[in-house]
Structure 1
């Protein structure tokens, strides 16, 4: 039997359902791909087309840094899901607690 007069518990954490983790993961995946392309598969012609900048490498590193920021943000400031107030809890169906 539950006690409906108890004080609400501490807020729960949202964990993996936090969009910051998902966005950070996607930035990390694309950042790794672009960094690998920039380090190993960029030709001199590609660099010449980009005004002398290895754009894949720098974009990949920027995306990895962005992924790190999103990860730190989600880790250091986790979302708190407040517990429902006792008056917001649904009433149990008739006969469950002995009430008819």
Structure 2
């Protein structure tokens, strides 16, 4: 007989961490953030800037999405999903 607590939780497995909803959302925000940032840096025209009142919306939206992705990754790293130990 072991002295282990039957209600003990274990660290998340690699698969559960990979498919955590926060990770999926972070990847989506990061992909779209990179695309918008690159479009803002290299794809904007002067007419687009004039329509937006002189603000490069693609650039700032892309940077904002990258920040949100970093927040989700940080949240997932600091508060990982704990799984219950399998019954023996």
**2:52 counterpart residue number:** 50
How far, CA to CA, are the matches of 2:47 and 2:57 in structure 1? 12
- Whichever of the two has the greater Rg, that structure is 1
**2:79 counterpart residue number:** 77
Unaligned runs of 5+ in 2: none
Contact 2:10–2:83 (8 Å) recurs in 1: yes
SS in 1 for 2:9: coil
Correspondence list, 1:1-100, <5 A: 7-8=5-6, 9-13=8-12, 14-83=16-85
Structure with the higher fraction of residues in helix conformation: 2
Shift of 1:81: 1.4
Unaligned runs of 5+ in 1: 90-100
Give TM-score scaled by structure 1 length: 0.73
Aligned residues: 84
Misfit runs of 4+, over 3 Å = none
| RMSD over aligned Cα atoms | 2.2
Give TM-score scaled by structure 2 length: 0.82
Higher relative CO (Cα under 8 Å, sequence separation at least 6) belongs to: 2
